[in-house]
C-alpha cells in the first residue's frame, strides 16, 4: 500500500488503554494508537496521514507505541486543531504525517528517560480530591486552586487537613505547579513550608535544597514561560507529565548554566 489515510476512534470511555499486539509481544496504548499500529503491521503503507487525538503524541500511555512508530517512520506533526475545530467534537487533535524509513531505527526502551534534573526533585501529588478524608490531626492539603493564594502569602492554616497518603508529601523550598491546567505566569514562585503538606494528584512540586536555588529556578521558568506552557498538552484538558517536565527542566538548566 502506498498511502493510508486514518481517522481512528478518539474515545475510550472509562477504559485505561487497550492491549496492542506487536511482534509477539503486548503493549498498552490508546485505541487510536492501536488502530495506527494495526494499519502498519497489516498493510505496510509507505506513507500515513492521520487525524489523531493530541494525547497520542504526548501521553505516557502511548510512549511504547510512539517508540514503534519512530522506529519505522519519520513522524511529523503537520497541524494542530483546537477542541472546537470539528463540529460535534470536543477534543484537541493533530494532523500527523508519517513516511516510511529506508532503514529501521532501534527502539528506545520504554522505561528509559531522556534526561534528569541535576538539582531539584519533582514530586507528583498522590491524593485525589474525592479520596481525601478530613482529619483534625492530618496534613495540610494543597489543591491546584490553592497555589495562587499560597504564593501570595496565605497561611498554611487556611488549608484543610486530611489523612495523609503514601505519595505526594513535601516540605521545604518548593515551586508548586498544576499538573492539569496551564499555570498562570504570576503564580510561578518559590514557596517555603516548614511542615509536611499533602499534595493533590493535580499538583506537582519542584523541591530544592535552599531558597536561592528555588528562586533562581522560578525566575528561569518565568522567563521561559511560553515554553513551559507548551509542555501542557492533551486531547481534552491540558496536562503535563513528570517526564516532559523533567526533560525540559534539564534542558533549560544546561542552556542557562544555572
Please report, for the domain that includes residue 170, its CATH number. 3.90.220.20
Q: What is the pLDDT of residues 33-91, one digit of tens each?
A: 999 999 998 888 999 999 998 888 877 788 888 888 888 899 888 888 887 788 777 78
Q: In terms of domains, do 131 and 218 share one?
A: yes
In a domain, 105, yes or no: no
pLDDT value at position 257?
Answer: 55
In a domain, 247, yes or no: yes
State percent of the chain over pLDDT 90: 47
Q: In terms of domains, do 58 and 150 share one?
A: no
In a domain, 251, yes or no: yes
Q: In terms of domains, do 20 and 69 share one?
A: yes
Q: Among 228, 233, 118, 250, which Cα is nearest to 177's?
A: 228
How many domains, the chain? 2
Q: Are 232 and 155 in contact (CB under 8 A)?
A: no
pLDDT value at position 114?
Answer: 35
Residues 6+ apart with CB under 8 A from 152: none
| 197 pLDDT more than 90 | yes
Give the domain range for residue 223.
121-256
In a domain, 111, yes or no: no
Residues 6+ apart with CB under 8 A from 230: none
Amino acid at each position: 500500500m502506498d498511502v493510508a489515510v486514518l481517522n481512528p476512534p478518539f474515545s475510550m470511555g472509562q477504559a485505561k488503554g487497550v492491549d496492542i499486539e506487536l511482534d509477539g509481544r503486548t503493549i498498552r496504548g490508546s485505541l487510536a494508537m492501536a488502530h495506527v499500529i494495526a494499519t502498519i503491521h497489516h498493510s505496510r503503507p509507505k506513507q500515513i496521514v492521520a487525524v489523531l487525538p493530541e494525547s497520542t503524541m504526548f501521553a505516557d500511555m502511548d510512549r511504547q507505541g510512539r517508540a514503534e512508530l519512530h522506529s519505522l517512520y519519520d513522524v511529523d506533526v503537520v497541524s494542530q486543531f483546537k477542541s472546537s475545530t470539528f463540529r460535534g467534537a470536543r477534543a484537541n487533535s493533530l494532523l500527523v504525517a508519517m513516511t516510511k524509513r529506508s532503514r529501521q531505527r532501534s527502539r528506545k526502551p520504554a522505561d528509559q528517560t531522556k534526561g534528569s534534573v541535576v538539582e531539584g526533585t519533582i514530586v507528583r501529588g498522590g491524593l485525589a480530591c474525592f479520596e481525601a478524608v478530613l482529619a483534625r490531626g492530618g496534613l495540610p492539603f494543597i489543591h491546584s486552586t490553592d497555589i495562587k493564594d499560597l504564593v501570595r502569602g496565605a497561611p498554611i492554616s487556611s488549608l484543610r487537613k486530611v489523612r495523609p497518603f503514601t505519595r505526594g508529601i513535601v516540605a521545604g523550598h518548593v515551586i508548586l505547579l498544576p499538573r492539569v491546567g496551564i499555570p498562570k505566569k504570576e503564580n510561578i514562585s518559590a514557596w517555603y513550608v516548614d511542615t509536611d503538606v499533602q499534595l493533590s494528584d493535580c499538583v506537582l512540586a519542584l523541591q530544592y535544597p535552599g531558597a536561592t536555588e528555588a528562586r533562581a529556578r522560578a525566575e528561569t521558568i518565568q522567563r521561559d514561560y511560553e515554553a513551559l506552557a507548551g509542555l501542557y498538552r492533551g486531547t481534552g484538558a491540558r496536562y503535563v507529565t513528570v517526564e516532559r517536565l523533567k526533560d525540559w527542566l534539564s534542558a533549560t538548566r544546561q542552556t542557562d548554566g544555572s
